[in-house]
Structures are given as structure tokens and as C-alpha cells.
Amino acid sequence: MLEKRDFYINGQWVAPSAPNDFAVIDPSTEEQCAVISLGGQADTDAAVAAARIAFDSWSQTTKDERTALLKKLLEIYNARAEEMAQAMSMEMGAPIDLARAQQVGAGSWHLEGFLKAFDDFSFERDFTATEKTLLEPVGVCALITPWNWPMNQIVLKAVPAMATGCTMVLKPSEIAPLSGLLFAEFVHDAGVPPGVFNLVNGDGAGVGSQLSAHPDVDMVSFTGSTRAGIAISKAAADTLKRVSLELGGKGANIIFEDAHPKAAKQGAIRCFRNTGQSCNAPTRMLVHSSRYDEAVEMAAETANATRVGPASDEGKHIGPLVSKAQYDKVQALIETGMSEARLVAGGLGRPDGLNRGYYAKPTVFADVTNDMTIAREEIFGPVLSIIRFETEEEAIAIANDTPYGLTNYVQTEDDERRRRVARRLRSGMVETNGQGFAQGSPFGGYKQSGNGREGGAYGLEEFLEVKAVSGWAAE
Ligand SMILES: NC(=O)c1ccc[n+]([C@@H]2O[C@H](COP(=O)([O-])OP(=O)(O)OC[C@H]3O[C@@H](n4cnc5c(N)ncnc54)[C@H](O)[C@@H]3O)[C@@H](O)[C@H]2O)c1
């Protein structure tokens, strides 16, 4: 079992101020795989103080100096990719091939994307012939991240914070903390100066709340549930710190009559990816009545053909849910779904042959209406809800009838309709016809899916203040 009790503060691994062990559970086996510590106020204060002291000099470093360190970080990240894949696979149950290609891959993809955007980024812009606009680092940032795409989230925050000259305290999810600890080693080995990057493990009620309310923290960048996003915003209000939020979602995938023949299959696969534990999962499949029966059948077949198994197995199966709490929540929502809608695949309990580990059955509900609990709540498991529609207007109305607004999906061969519908969907992202987003594309939500944008140039701007200076040049 791994012993990872120390925190990374001011360039050193330090013991917590008071012992407070926390077990990390491997969701594939339900066995403890590591022990970490949950920090307290003294640890939070020490990390924030280190970041505050380091800010003076780090914020004055040049773009070239910071670029060189980030390139070094990318080199180390790539060289130690396998260790990172193993850590994430064990802590949150991503099957090892998915962990290598997508969980680790997302980190390097975003790091490269930031380096490209940073190359073109100007921190001093001419406003008029005599007036300059300066973009300056916001200060000490608290980075609070979830367990579902651990490295994706950490890179999307720590890298732009470093690039823009901010200093930071990262609090990774206590449920999946091993990848964050490894990332801290990479940052250290890249030669990032002491105090620029600090890591304190802890839970939401402890270190999470302490960082959110801390008078010496200038900004909180948070990814996680809408519930925690609201709590953080309230805790941050007394000090009026900037709060950037990436929260939950309940994405609609609109399949029109002229969609690709395999659109329902692709949609179901996408919903089940990462065991449904993605904020941008297309969990509501809206299908035109002319394709409805075929889509229900195809989605059910896809669910039945989706293999579920341990994260350490190679292959394209899906892994367990991350924790007992998540398993219980998903089971309860499947039970609710069975009382509301028509179950066409999956259902309660573990898949056959698996009696230990937090495995859920890939599940499909048909005849769902948008007022049902399973259409409104973010389930965060491999559960798909299929809703019938007749007209384009109706599809748009259903898609937008949710408190969330992260990613929606449109499937149609009609170019005009694709653009028209994309414009009317109230979400930060609209993916059409399975076309993936480009590197550095802005990631973020409308409504209760948050207010931040991550990745590329938009992601750099999140960490900057804007200063207007008159008389920069003589008239
Ligand atoms: N929009 C996005 O970019 C995005 C990406 C990934 C995950 N998510 C969302 O994350 C959620 C799943 O992650 P989770 O279960 O880890 O979420 P969570 O909100 O429970 O926890 C996320 C992080 O916040 C911390 N936290 C919890 N309560 C807190 C509080 N009151 N104050 C400060 N910190 C607190 C946790 O310790 C953890 O580090 C889902 O709702 C998912 O949609 C969103």
C-alpha cells in the first residue's frame, strides 16, 4: 500500500501539521490502495503563505522563462506517462488503455495547447497610440479539482496559472489524490521555484472551504459539482475573490431524421465512456420519432455489448464507478428511473460475474420525458435516457429545459439546420456530427454548468487582471 501522507509546500515535501489519515480505495477491488492525509487550517495557511511570498518574484519572470519551465514539465509528463496512467487507473477506475490514451492524453494535449496559445499571447496590448492595456496575473490561486478526469482538470488549471505568473495551492480530490501528488513531483523536477506550486490534500469541508474563504487567496478555480460550486461561491463572497467554475451537465444529443445511421450507437458509447463519469456526457438522447424505435434498439444493443471489468484489464471495456457513494447514488437513480420510464437495458446491481468492486450495468431508459428525475439530475454513471421529439423547435426546447448548459450535441446531415440549432442551444459547447474540438478550444458552461472557460488563450485569460495605463507613450 502506498503511503503518501506528505504535502508539497514551498518546494518541499512536508508532514501534515496534525495526523489525519484518509484511505484511498481502489474502486475495482474495494481494497485500500493508499493512505493520504487530510490537511487542516495550519497546512492551508502554510501553503497560501508560501504562494503569497513566491508571487512577488514569479509574477515578474519573463514569458520565456516560464515557457522553458512548462516545456520541461511537458517533457517529464510524457516521460512518466505510464506511472500517471497507473495512478489514475488505480485511484478512480479508468481502464488502463483509456487511462493511457485519454486520461493521461488529455493532460499532454492541454499542456501543448497552452504552450501554443502562450506563444502568440501578448501581455501588453496597444489600446490607443498613447494608452496601453496590461494583462497581469491575478495573484494566489486556489485550484480545487474532481476525481473523474484528474489530470485533465489539474493541467487545465495549474498550467495556465503558472504560464500567466500566478502562484497556487492545488487541492485535488481526496478520492483520487495520487495523480495530483505525482504531478507535484513533475513540477518539482521541472525546476519550478519553491512556493509557485503547492499541494495540500484535504476534503471539501476542510481544506476546500479554508481555501475558498482565505483572505490571502485572490482566485478560486474550481471544477466539480454544482453543489460545491455554490458553497465555494458563498465562502468566497466575503473576500470578493474571483471564482471560476466548471460544474455539472446534462447534455442533450439531438438525433434528427437525417442523422448518420450509427448516431444512436455512437451516442450511447459516448454516454458510457469513463463509466458515464464525465460532465459533458450526452446523457439525454433526443430522437426524432421517425428514428425512435431504431435508436432505442441500437442503444440497448450497445449497452448489452459494453463489457464492464477491472481497470487493470487491457481493452475497451468500462471500469467501475469511483466509489461506494457514487455506486449507491447511481443505483438509487436507476431505481427511480425504473419507476418513471421503460428500462430497455441494464438495471439494478452489478453485471453478471462481478461481485466485488463498484461496477454498474450500462443502462438505457426509453420513453423518458424531460420532467422525470432521470432527465433532470446528473446521474454520473453509465445511464442513458431516450426522449422522443417531433419538431426541431420541440427538440431545442427540451435540450434547453435544464438548469445545466455545458455541452449539447447535434446529429444531422443538413448544414443549415446544424448551424441554426447550434446557435439556439444554451450551452458553452455544441458538438456536431461527432466532430471533436480543436486543441485550445474554450471549455466551459452556461447557466448552472459554471462561468469559466478553460484551455488555450481563453484559459490563460481566466488568470489575468486587466490594467489600463494612460500616457504610456508621449502624445
Ligand atoms: N464542467 C467541468 O469542467 C467538469 C469537469 C469534470 C467534472 N465536473 C463535475 O464534477 C462533479 C463530480 O466530481 P466530484 O464528485 O469530485 O465533485 P465534488 O464537487 O464533490 O468535489 C470536487 C472537488 O471539490 C471539493 N469540494 C467539495 N465540497 C467542497 C466545498 N464545500 N468547498 C470547497 N471544496 C469542496 C472536493 O473535495 C473535490 O476536490 C460532477 O458534478 C461533474 O459534472 C465538471
410-445 per-position pLDDT tens digit: 999 999 999 999 999 999 999 999 999 999 999 999
Residues of the chain with pLDDT under 50: none
For residue 424, what pLDDT is reported?
98
Ligand 1 atom nearest 227 alpha carbon: 19
Find, among 396, 359, 462, 469, the residue nearest to 121 by Cα.
Answer: 462
Residue nearest to atom 26 of ligand 1 (CA): 204
pTM over the 0.90 mark: yes
Beta pairing partners, 2: 34
Nearest-CA residue for atom 40 of ligand 1: 225
Which residues sit opposite 35 in a β-bridge? 3, 23
CA of 176 to the centre of ligand 1 (A): 12
Residues with CB under 6 A from ligand 1: 144-149, 171, 173-174, 203-204, 208-209, 212, 223-225, 228, 231-232, 246-249, 279, 378, 380, 406, 445, 449-450
286: cell is 433526443
Residues 133-148: tens digit of each pLDDT: 999 999 999 999 999 9
- The pLDDT of residue 475 is 78
Whether 343 contacts 300, CB under 8 Å:
no
| Terminal alpha carbon distance of the chain | 68
Q: Which of 298, 316, 319 is nearest to 364 (CA)?
A: 298
Nearest to 144 by CA among 65, 88, 199, 72: 199
CB 347 within 8 A of CB 231: no
For residue 246, the model assigns a pLDDT of: 98
279 noted as active-site residue: yes
Query: What pLDDT shows up at residue 474?
Result: 85
Catalytic residue check, 246? yes
pLDDT of residue 77: 98
Options 246, 378, 431, 462, the catalytic residue: 246
Distance 139 CA to ligand 1 centre (A): 23
